[in-house]
Structure 1
Protein backbone atom coordinates (compact mmCIF):
# COMPACT_ATOMS: atom_id res chain seq x y z
CA UNK A 1 0.00 0.00 0.00
CA UNK A 2 1.14 3.51 -0.67
CA UNK A 3 1.99 5.78 2.21
CA UNK A 4 -0.58 8.58 2.41
CA UNK A 5 -3.35 6.61 0.73
CA UNK A 6 -4.61 3.58 2.69
CA UNK A 7 -6.17 0.90 0.52
CA UNK A 8 -9.34 0.67 2.55
CA UNK A 9 -11.02 3.40 4.55
CA UNK A 10 -13.55 2.50 7.19
CA UNK A 11 -15.54 5.24 8.90
CA UNK A 12 -14.15 6.38 12.24
CA UNK A 13 -11.57 3.63 12.46
CA UNK A 14 -7.84 4.07 13.05
CA UNK A 15 -4.88 1.75 13.58
CA UNK A 16 -2.02 2.52 15.95
CA UNK A 17 1.32 0.97 15.02
CA UNK A 18 4.57 0.92 16.99
CA UNK A 19 7.97 0.25 15.43
CA UNK A 20 11.44 -0.84 16.54
CA UNK A 21 10.63 -2.92 19.63
CA UNK A 22 10.34 -4.82 21.70
CA UNK A 23 12.57 -3.38 24.38
CA UNK A 24 12.45 -3.90 28.14
CA UNK A 25 11.98 -0.24 29.11
CA UNK A 26 9.48 1.53 26.85
CA UNK A 27 7.50 -1.27 25.23
CA UNK A 28 6.10 -2.50 28.57
CA UNK A 29 5.00 1.03 29.47
CA UNK A 30 3.23 1.45 26.15
CA UNK A 31 1.61 -1.94 26.62
CA UNK A 32 0.41 -0.81 30.05
CA UNK A 33 -1.31 2.23 28.51
CA UNK A 34 -2.94 0.17 25.77
CA UNK A 35 -4.13 -2.37 28.32
CA UNK A 36 -5.57 0.36 30.53
CA UNK A 37 -7.62 1.70 27.62
CA UNK A 38 -8.40 -1.73 26.14
CA UNK A 39 -6.84 -0.79 22.80
CA UNK A 40 -5.18 -3.29 20.51
CA UNK A 41 -2.34 -2.16 18.25
CA UNK A 42 0.17 -3.54 15.75
CA UNK A 43 3.83 -3.86 16.72
CA UNK A 44 6.39 -3.99 13.91
CA UNK A 45 9.30 -5.77 15.55
CA UNK A 46 13.04 -5.83 14.87
CA UNK A 47 14.51 -9.33 14.96
CA UNK A 48 17.49 -8.44 17.16
CA UNK A 49 15.13 -6.83 19.66
CA UNK A 50 12.93 -9.93 19.68
CA UNK A 51 16.00 -12.03 20.39
CA UNK A 52 16.95 -9.78 23.32
CA UNK A 53 13.46 -9.44 24.79
CA UNK A 54 11.48 -12.61 24.08
CA UNK A 55 9.27 -12.22 27.14
CA UNK A 56 8.07 -8.81 25.92
CA UNK A 57 7.19 -10.20 22.50
CA UNK A 58 5.16 -12.93 24.16
CA UNK A 59 3.37 -10.30 26.21
CA UNK A 60 2.51 -8.39 23.01
CA UNK A 61 0.92 -11.52 21.59
CA UNK A 62 -0.77 -12.61 24.82
CA UNK A 63 -2.45 -9.22 25.25
CA UNK A 64 -4.07 -9.43 21.82
CA UNK A 65 -1.81 -7.19 19.76
CA UNK A 66 -0.54 -8.07 16.29
CA UNK A 67 3.13 -8.76 15.60
CA UNK A 68 4.79 -7.69 12.35
CA UNK A 69 8.28 -7.92 10.84
CA UNK A 70 10.51 -4.80 10.75
CA UNK A 71 13.74 -6.53 9.57
CA UNK A 72 16.54 -8.00 11.63
CA UNK A 73 18.59 -4.87 12.35
CA UNK A 74 16.80 -1.94 10.68
CA UNK A 75 18.84 -1.30 7.51
CA UNK A 76 18.02 0.70 4.40
CA UNK A 77 16.78 -2.16 2.24
CA UNK A 78 17.41 -0.45 -1.09
CA UNK A 79 21.11 -0.35 -0.25
CA UNK A 80 21.31 -4.12 0.21
CA UNK A 81 21.60 -6.94 -2.34
CA UNK A 82 18.28 -8.69 -2.77
CA UNK A 83 19.66 -11.82 -1.10
CA UNK A 84 20.30 -9.81 2.07
CA UNK A 85 16.80 -8.31 1.91
CA UNK A 86 15.47 -11.87 1.95
CA UNK A 87 17.74 -12.77 4.87
CA UNK A 88 16.57 -9.72 6.85
CA UNK A 89 12.94 -10.73 6.42
CA UNK A 90 13.21 -14.48 6.92
CA UNK A 91 15.55 -14.35 9.90
CA UNK A 92 13.16 -12.03 11.71
CA UNK A 93 10.08 -14.04 10.84
CA UNK A 94 11.80 -17.21 12.04
CA UNK A 95 12.77 -15.55 15.33
CA UNK A 96 9.17 -14.40 15.87
CA UNK A 97 7.99 -17.96 15.24
CA UNK A 98 10.56 -19.31 17.70
CA UNK A 99 9.59 -16.87 20.43
CA UNK A 100 5.86 -16.32 19.95
CA UNK A 101 4.75 -19.26 17.83
CA UNK A 102 3.21 -17.16 15.05
CA UNK A 103 4.34 -16.65 11.46
CA UNK A 104 3.70 -13.03 10.67
CA UNK A 105 2.76 -11.90 7.16
CA UNK A 106 3.05 -8.17 7.85
CA UNK A 107 6.24 -6.35 6.92
CA UNK A 108 7.29 -2.73 7.34
CA UNK A 109 10.49 -1.51 5.69
CA UNK A 110 12.67 0.67 7.91
CA UNK A 111 12.38 4.33 6.92
CA UNK A 112 9.73 3.34 4.36
CA UNK A 113 12.69 2.59 2.11
CA UNK A 114 11.47 0.61 -0.92
CA UNK A 115 12.02 0.13 -4.61
CA UNK A 116 10.42 -2.24 -7.12
CA UNK A 117 13.00 -4.96 -6.55
CA UNK A 118 12.47 -4.92 -2.78
CA UNK A 119 8.69 -4.93 -3.16
CA UNK A 120 8.84 -7.94 -5.46
CA UNK A 121 11.10 -9.80 -3.05
CA UNK A 122 8.83 -9.10 -0.07
CA UNK A 123 5.81 -10.30 -2.05
CA UNK A 124 7.65 -13.48 -3.06
CA UNK A 125 8.16 -14.21 0.65
CA UNK A 126 4.40 -14.02 1.26
CA UNK A 127 4.60 -10.84 3.29
CA UNK A 128 2.37 -7.77 2.95
CA UNK A 129 4.15 -4.43 2.85
CA UNK A 130 2.66 -2.11 5.44
CA UNK A 131 3.36 1.63 5.39
CA UNK A 132 1.43 4.47 7.02
CA UNK A 133 -0.33 7.76 6.30
CA UNK A 134 0.36 9.58 9.60
CA UNK A 135 3.89 9.96 10.95
CA UNK A 136 3.96 11.11 14.56
CA UNK A 137 7.58 12.24 14.02
CA UNK A 138 8.25 10.96 17.53
CA UNK A 139 11.65 9.74 16.36
CA UNK A 140 12.74 13.38 16.28
CA UNK A 141 12.51 13.54 20.06
CA UNK A 142 9.33 15.60 20.15
CA UNK A 143 7.40 16.33 23.33
CA UNK A 144 4.13 14.61 24.15
CA UNK A 145 2.01 17.60 23.02
CA UNK A 146 3.94 17.80 19.76
CA UNK A 147 3.44 14.10 19.06
CA UNK A 148 -0.26 14.39 19.85
CA UNK A 149 -0.66 17.40 17.56
CA UNK A 150 1.04 15.61 14.67
CA UNK A 151 -1.39 12.71 15.00
CA UNK A 152 -4.65 14.39 15.96
CA UNK A 153 -4.30 17.09 13.35
CA UNK A 154 -4.24 14.56 10.51
CA UNK A 155 -6.34 11.54 11.50
CA UNK A 156 -8.99 10.52 8.99
CA UNK A 157 -11.07 7.42 8.35
CA UNK A 158 -8.78 4.44 7.95
CA UNK A 159 -5.59 6.16 9.09
CA UNK A 160 -2.51 4.15 10.02
CA UNK A 161 -0.43 5.94 12.65
CA UNK A 162 3.32 5.44 12.94
CA UNK A 163 4.86 5.66 16.41
CA UNK A 164 7.76 3.93 18.15
CA UNK A 165 7.98 1.70 21.21
CA UNK A 166 11.75 1.49 21.50
CA UNK A 167 14.62 3.90 21.22
CA UNK A 168 16.36 6.72 23.06
CA UNK A 169 14.43 8.17 25.99
CA UNK A 170 13.86 11.48 24.23
CA UNK A 171 12.24 9.61 21.34
CA UNK A 172 9.85 7.36 23.19
CA UNK A 173 9.02 9.59 26.15
CA UNK A 174 6.95 11.85 23.90
CA UNK A 175 5.02 8.87 22.57
CA UNK A 176 4.36 7.52 26.04
CA UNK A 177 3.17 10.91 27.29
CA UNK A 178 0.95 11.51 24.25
CA UNK A 179 -0.68 8.09 23.98
CA UNK A 180 -3.40 8.40 26.67
CA UNK A 181 -4.44 11.82 25.35
CA UNK A 182 -4.51 10.58 21.74
CA UNK A 183 -6.72 7.64 22.67
CA UNK A 184 -9.09 9.79 24.73
CA UNK A 185 -9.45 12.51 22.08
CA UNK A 186 -10.01 10.07 19.24
CA UNK A 187 -12.64 8.23 21.25
CA UNK A 188 -14.35 11.54 21.96
CA UNK A 189 -14.38 12.10 18.19
CA UNK A 190 -16.07 8.75 17.74
CA UNK A 191 -13.11 6.75 16.50
CA UNK A 192 -12.51 3.09 17.27
CA UNK A 193 -9.12 1.38 17.28
CA UNK A 194 -8.28 -1.63 15.13
CA UNK A 195 -5.25 -3.72 14.38
CA UNK A 196 -3.89 -3.60 10.85
CA UNK A 197 -5.44 -6.94 9.83
CA UNK A 198 -8.85 -5.73 11.04
CA UNK A 199 -8.51 -2.38 9.31
CA UNK A 200 -7.24 -3.65 5.97
CA UNK A 201 -8.85 -7.11 5.96
CA UNK A 202 -5.47 -8.82 5.85
CA UNK A 203 -4.38 -12.16 7.22
CA UNK A 204 -1.96 -11.43 10.06
CA UNK A 205 -0.35 -14.84 10.29
CA UNK A 206 0.23 -17.66 7.85
Structure 2
Protein backbone atom coordinates (compact mmCIF):
# COMPACT_ATOMS: atom_id res chain seq x y z
CA UNK A 1 0.00 0.00 0.00
CA UNK A 2 1.30 3.45 -0.89
CA UNK A 3 2.22 5.59 2.09
CA UNK A 4 2.47 9.34 2.27
CA UNK A 5 4.41 11.67 4.50
CA UNK A 6 3.30 15.26 5.09
CA UNK A 7 5.67 17.48 3.16
CA UNK A 8 5.89 21.13 2.25
CA UNK A 9 5.73 21.13 -1.53
CA UNK A 10 8.48 22.93 -3.40
CA UNK A 11 7.49 24.08 -6.89
CA UNK A 12 8.98 21.92 -9.62
CA UNK A 13 11.23 19.94 -7.26
CA UNK A 14 11.36 16.17 -6.89
CA UNK A 15 13.48 13.91 -4.70
CA UNK A 16 14.68 10.52 -5.91
CA UNK A 17 15.24 7.99 -3.14
CA UNK A 18 16.76 4.51 -3.40
CA UNK A 19 16.27 1.78 -0.80
CA UNK A 20 17.95 -1.47 0.24
CA UNK A 21 21.57 -0.82 -0.78
CA UNK A 22 24.35 -0.61 -1.11
CA UNK A 23 25.41 -3.55 -3.23
CA UNK A 24 28.20 -4.18 -5.75
CA UNK A 25 25.96 -4.81 -8.78
CA UNK A 26 23.18 -2.25 -9.07
CA UNK A 27 24.18 0.57 -6.74
CA UNK A 28 27.29 1.51 -8.77
CA UNK A 29 25.29 1.54 -12.01
CA UNK A 30 22.66 3.81 -10.50
CA UNK A 31 25.41 6.06 -9.15
CA UNK A 32 26.92 6.21 -12.64
CA UNK A 33 23.60 7.41 -14.10
CA UNK A 34 23.17 10.04 -11.40
CA UNK A 35 26.74 11.22 -11.97
CA UNK A 36 26.16 11.48 -15.72
CA UNK A 37 23.22 13.83 -15.09
CA UNK A 38 24.86 15.60 -12.12
CA UNK A 39 21.95 14.73 -9.86
CA UNK A 40 22.08 14.04 -6.13
CA UNK A 41 19.69 11.57 -4.52
CA UNK A 42 18.98 10.04 -1.12
CA UNK A 43 20.01 6.44 -0.36
CA UNK A 44 18.20 4.67 2.47
CA UNK A 45 20.70 1.98 3.43
CA UNK A 46 20.41 -1.39 5.16
CA UNK A 47 22.99 -1.97 7.87
CA UNK A 48 23.98 -5.47 6.77
CA UNK A 49 24.49 -4.22 3.23
CA UNK A 50 26.69 -1.40 4.53
CA UNK A 51 28.73 -3.94 6.46
CA UNK A 52 29.23 -6.02 3.30
CA UNK A 53 29.90 -3.09 0.96
CA UNK A 54 31.63 -0.32 2.91
CA UNK A 55 33.46 1.08 -0.10
CA UNK A 56 30.16 1.57 -1.94
CA UNK A 57 28.71 3.51 0.98
CA UNK A 58 31.75 5.74 0.94
CA UNK A 59 31.25 6.30 -2.78
CA UNK A 60 27.63 7.35 -2.14
CA UNK A 61 28.82 9.92 0.37
CA UNK A 62 31.83 11.10 -1.65
CA UNK A 63 29.64 11.77 -4.70
CA UNK A 64 27.41 14.10 -2.71
CA UNK A 65 24.40 11.90 -2.07
CA UNK A 66 22.56 11.70 1.25
CA UNK A 67 22.64 8.54 3.37
CA UNK A 68 19.70 7.42 5.50
CA UNK A 69 18.87 4.49 7.77
CA UNK A 70 16.66 1.62 6.51
CA UNK A 71 17.18 -0.78 9.47
CA UNK A 72 19.79 -3.48 9.93
CA UNK A 73 18.20 -6.36 8.03
CA UNK A 74 14.87 -5.07 6.67
CA UNK A 75 12.31 -6.62 9.04
CA UNK A 76 8.69 -5.62 9.43
CA UNK A 77 9.09 -3.45 12.52
CA UNK A 78 5.49 -3.85 13.60
CA UNK A 79 6.24 -7.52 14.32
CA UNK A 80 9.17 -6.76 16.64
CA UNK A 81 9.34 -5.68 20.28
CA UNK A 82 10.32 -2.05 20.70
CA UNK A 83 13.70 -3.03 22.12
CA UNK A 84 14.48 -4.76 18.82
CA UNK A 85 13.24 -1.76 16.86
CA UNK A 86 15.73 0.37 18.76
CA UNK A 87 18.51 -2.10 17.98
CA UNK A 88 17.61 -2.09 14.28
CA UNK A 89 17.89 1.68 14.17
CA UNK A 90 20.94 2.24 16.34
CA UNK A 91 23.02 -0.63 15.00
CA UNK A 92 22.56 0.68 11.47
CA UNK A 93 23.32 4.26 12.47
CA UNK A 94 26.50 3.11 14.20
CA UNK A 95 27.63 1.07 11.19
CA UNK A 96 27.02 3.95 8.78
CA UNK A 97 28.97 6.26 11.10
CA UNK A 98 31.82 3.74 11.37
CA UNK A 99 32.08 3.39 7.60
CA UNK A 100 31.25 6.88 6.32
CA UNK A 101 31.67 9.12 9.35
CA UNK A 102 28.12 10.49 9.40
CA UNK A 103 25.36 10.01 11.99
CA UNK A 104 22.12 9.61 10.09
CA UNK A 105 18.88 11.35 11.02
CA UNK A 106 16.64 10.13 8.20
CA UNK A 107 14.91 6.80 8.81
CA UNK A 108 12.67 4.80 6.49
CA UNK A 109 10.80 1.78 7.88
CA UNK A 110 10.77 -1.30 5.65
CA UNK A 111 7.51 -1.60 3.70
CA UNK A 112 6.47 1.74 5.22
CA UNK A 113 4.98 -0.20 8.12
CA UNK A 114 4.63 1.81 11.33
CA UNK A 115 2.51 2.18 14.41
CA UNK A 116 2.33 4.90 17.05
CA UNK A 117 4.78 3.13 19.36
CA UNK A 118 7.37 2.80 16.60
CA UNK A 119 6.98 6.44 15.62
CA UNK A 120 7.58 7.50 19.22
CA UNK A 121 10.58 5.17 19.56
CA UNK A 122 12.25 6.30 16.33
CA UNK A 123 11.62 9.95 17.17
CA UNK A 124 13.12 9.46 20.62
CA UNK A 125 16.29 8.21 18.91
CA UNK A 126 16.60 11.57 17.12
CA UNK A 127 15.60 10.22 13.73
CA UNK A 128 13.18 11.75 11.24
CA UNK A 129 10.80 9.26 9.63
CA UNK A 130 10.83 9.47 5.84
CA UNK A 131 8.11 7.86 3.74
CA UNK A 132 7.17 8.68 0.14
CA UNK A 133 4.29 9.74 -2.06
CA UNK A 134 5.23 7.95 -5.30
CA UNK A 135 5.96 4.23 -5.31
CA UNK A 136 7.65 3.13 -8.53
CA UNK A 137 6.52 -0.44 -7.76
CA UNK A 138 9.91 -1.55 -9.08
CA UNK A 139 9.96 -4.21 -6.35
CA UNK A 140 7.31 -6.07 -8.35
CA UNK A 141 9.87 -6.74 -11.09
CA UNK A 142 8.40 -4.25 -13.57
CA UNK A 143 10.08 -3.30 -16.82
CA UNK A 144 11.80 0.03 -17.32
CA UNK A 145 8.84 1.54 -19.22
CA UNK A 146 6.43 0.37 -16.51
CA UNK A 147 8.57 1.90 -13.76
CA UNK A 148 8.83 5.16 -15.71
CA UNK A 149 5.06 5.29 -16.26
CA UNK A 150 4.37 4.76 -12.55
CA UNK A 151 6.62 7.67 -11.64
CA UNK A 152 5.96 10.15 -14.42
CA UNK A 153 2.22 9.69 -14.22
CA UNK A 154 2.13 10.87 -10.60
CA UNK A 155 4.90 13.44 -10.14
CA UNK A 156 3.87 16.76 -8.64
CA UNK A 157 5.63 19.59 -6.85
CA UNK A 158 7.69 18.19 -3.98
CA UNK A 159 7.23 14.50 -4.79
CA UNK A 160 9.35 11.89 -3.01
CA UNK A 161 9.93 8.90 -5.28
CA UNK A 162 10.62 5.41 -3.94
CA UNK A 163 12.93 3.17 -5.97
CA UNK A 164 15.52 0.54 -5.11
CA UNK A 165 19.28 0.27 -5.70
CA UNK A 166 19.78 -3.32 -4.57
CA UNK A 167 17.81 -6.53 -4.62
CA UNK A 168 16.75 -9.23 -7.07
CA UNK A 169 17.83 -8.65 -10.66
CA UNK A 170 14.29 -8.32 -11.97
CA UNK A 171 13.58 -5.61 -9.39
CA UNK A 172 16.46 -3.24 -9.94
CA UNK A 173 16.86 -3.77 -13.68
CA UNK A 174 13.61 -1.89 -14.31
CA UNK A 175 14.79 1.01 -12.17
CA UNK A 176 18.15 1.21 -13.91
CA UNK A 177 16.50 1.12 -17.35
CA UNK A 178 13.94 3.78 -16.41
CA UNK A 179 16.21 6.22 -14.59
CA UNK A 180 17.75 8.13 -17.54
CA UNK A 181 14.35 8.52 -19.22
CA UNK A 182 12.73 9.70 -15.96
CA UNK A 183 15.47 12.27 -15.42
CA UNK A 184 15.27 13.57 -18.98
CA UNK A 185 11.48 13.86 -19.08
CA UNK A 186 11.28 15.61 -15.72
CA UNK A 187 14.13 17.94 -16.62
CA UNK A 188 12.44 18.86 -19.90
CA UNK A 189 9.27 19.58 -17.89
CA UNK A 190 11.15 22.05 -15.73
CA UNK A 191 11.67 19.89 -12.66
CA UNK A 192 14.81 20.05 -10.57
CA UNK A 193 16.16 17.22 -8.42
CA UNK A 194 16.67 17.67 -4.68
CA UNK A 195 17.98 15.57 -1.86
CA UNK A 196 15.53 15.00 0.99
CA UNK A 197 17.23 17.55 3.27
CA UNK A 198 17.01 20.17 0.52
CA UNK A 199 13.39 19.34 -0.26
CA UNK A 200 12.13 19.23 3.33
CA UNK A 201 14.58 21.67 4.93
CA UNK A 202 15.91 19.00 7.30
CA UNK A 203 19.35 18.21 8.64
CA UNK A 204 20.64 14.98 7.14
CA UNK A 205 23.06 14.22 9.95
CA UNK A 206 23.64 14.96 13.62
Q: Place the TM-score, normalised by the shorter chain, in its bin.
A: over 0.9
Q: Deviations over 1:101-143 (max 9, x none)?
A: 0001000000001000000000000000000000000000000
RMSD across aligned C-alpha pairs, in angstroms? 0.9
C-alpha distance in 2 between matches for 1:83 and 1:5: 25
Equivalent in the alignment of 2:74: 74
Does structure 1 retain, via aligned residues, the 8 Å contact 2:22–2:50? yes
Does structure 2 retain, via aligned residues, the 8 Å contact 1:6–1:159? no
| Superposition misfits of 4+ residues, deviation over 6 angstroms | none
Does structure 2 retain, via aligned residues, the 8 Å contact 1:134–1:159? yes
Equivalent in the alignment of 2:108: 108
Listed as ranges, the gaps of 5+ residues in structure 2 are: none
Cα displacement (A) at 1:5: 5.0
| 1:15-94 matches, cutoff 5 A | 15-94=15-94
C-alpha distance in 2 between matches for 1:6 and 1:192: 20
Does structure 1 retain, via aligned residues, the 8 Å contact 2:5–2:130? no
Cα displacement (A) at 1:3: 3.4
| 1:92-131 matches, cutoff 5 A | 92-131=92-131
Does structure 2 retain, via aligned residues, the 8 Å contact 1:143–1:173? yes
Cα displacement (A) at 1:7: 1.6
